[in-house]
Amino acid sequence: MKRKILILSAVNIEPNSSAAGGRMLQLLNLFQEMDFEIHYATTAVKTEFSVNIPYVSFHNIVINDSSFDNFVANLNPTVVVFDRFMLEEQFGSKISENCPNALKILDTEDLHSLRQARQNCVKTQTPFTLDTWKNNDYTKREIASIYRCDVTLIISEYEYHCLVHDFKIPESILFYIPLFAKKQENIKNFSERTDFAFIGNFLHEPNWDATQQLYKTIWPSIKQKLPRAKMKIYGAYPTQKVLELHQPGKGFYIQGRVDNALEAIASAKVLLAPIRFGAGIKGKLLDAMQTGTPSITTKIGAEGMEYKGWNGFVCDDNKSFIEKSILLYSDEKLWHTMQEKGFEIIEKKLNSLFFADAFKEKINRMIDDLAYYRNDNYIGKLLNHHTTNAYYYMNKWIEEKNKKLQ
């Protein structure tokens, strides 16, 4: 009988809408290679952009409802994956109650608490510090969730380092597995490309902030020096405030959703990503490397992806960002040098060959000796004991309350 894996998510799988969708496809492919019977359960309503995957069974679930207990008990999965820590908070105690021997995996995608702490600092115009991050209640929730799970998948080398060295989390309950990348075929050369580009799902606040930075601060100065250049903004779910920035007369174009992000980026000469807050690996910058498109970004944008340099420039002040953007757009020799640097980064740092087998071995080893790993993570055992009891009664109360409202 095949082993079953259950993935719990708050969103549908939309690989053309965000890097998170691509990350989920990556994990699904690995689980398929491990010969799991794969089940994907989400609280989200299906959209026209959701993908159907033949080897995955899809389910809709409801929070604070006893139907989930029946569903998961009947399924009896060997492995349960939470695609963010809020899902572990919502369903973790129910998993412990109904299938206590299931291996619990947390896929962080990025550390949400780090992104939120940085966003708060930008909004309040205060410096970001480690203490700022540690003292955030959101951080305490996320770190507790990491301990309650048997293993947490970390997408960024920088975040892995922070968890181990700054938060003192045991490496035995962490596994670094980045977004995988590979060089695309039929790469366009310098003369075949035009325009600057940016891409990002506008449901993600860092992308809206970066678009505003481009429109208000960066693009006017670039346009003044390069009057024939265009700035094209791609991304799913653009809101009205995003669409209002469509100003062809200023060379600023809101293109909206594209069917293929790689094709859009492959046509650009330079990708601009003035990211002021965020976390994890930025899919737009990864796609730029894969398509041979040099980029200008910030330290936060390049975080966790650098390898002996960058496929362009990393600039945290607007003056340098603007100057390097103009230089990279105009200098063909420099442009080709940076393009090759991007290919080197994905080959040396983001190649699936470095991670896939080790990931499979780690998961299989933990399944086979789960009791040992749980005893080794004693803080996790304590938190699970406390949380399961606390959430059990809270969930029951919410369920009864909801019944009365129906």
- What is the pLDDT at residue 98? 94
Q: How far is CA 233 from CA 71, 221, 263, 335, in A?
A: 42, 17, 14, 21
pLDDT digits (tens, 9 = 90+) for 36-58: 999 999 998 887 787 888 999 99
pLDDT at 143 over 90: yes
Query: pLDDT averaged over the chain?
Result: 92
Angle formed at CA 182 by CA 180 and CA 184, multiple of 5 degrees: 140
Determine, yes or no, domain membership for 134: yes
For 191, phi then psi, to 5°, come to -70, -20
CATH number, domain containing residue 208? 3.40.50.2000
pLDDT digits (tens, 9 = 90+) for 153-179: 999 999 999 999 999 999 999 999 999
Say if residue 358 is in the same domain as residue 344: no
pLDDT at 222 over 80: yes
Say if residue 79 is in the same domain as residue 197: no
Order of all β-strands in the sheet with 196-199: 252-256, 231-234, 196-199, 270-273, 295-297, 312-314
Q: What is the dihedral of CA 365, 369, 373, 376, to 10 degrees?
A: -130
Residue range of the domain that includes 81: 4-180+353-405
Say if residue 102 is in the same domain as residue 203: no
Residue 165: in which H helix or E strand, if any? Answer: none
Cα separation, 97 vs 35, whole angstroms: 26
Last residue of a domain, one of 329, 350, 371: 350
Say if residue 328 is in the same domain as residue 217: yes
- 3-state SS of the chain: helix, strand, coil percent to 5? 50, 15, 35
pLDDT at 313 over 90: yes
Enter the pTM of the model: 0.91
Determine, yes or no, domain membership for 185: no
Say if residue 328 is in the same domain as residue 371: no
Say if residue 36 is in the same domain as residue 175: yes
Say if residue 174 is in the same domain as residue 224: no
Say if residue 241 is in the same domain as residue 296: yes
* Residue 405 pLDDT grade (very low, low, confident, very high; cuts 50, 70, 90): low
- What is the pLDDT at residue 66? 83
Q: Structurally, how many domains does the chain consist of?
A: 2
Q: Are 162 and 283 in contact (CB under 8 A)?
A: no
Determine, yes or no, domain membership for 288: yes
Q: Are 256 and 356 in contact (CB under 8 A)?
A: no
What does 92-106 look like in DSSP terms, one character per residue? HHHHHHH-TTSEEEE
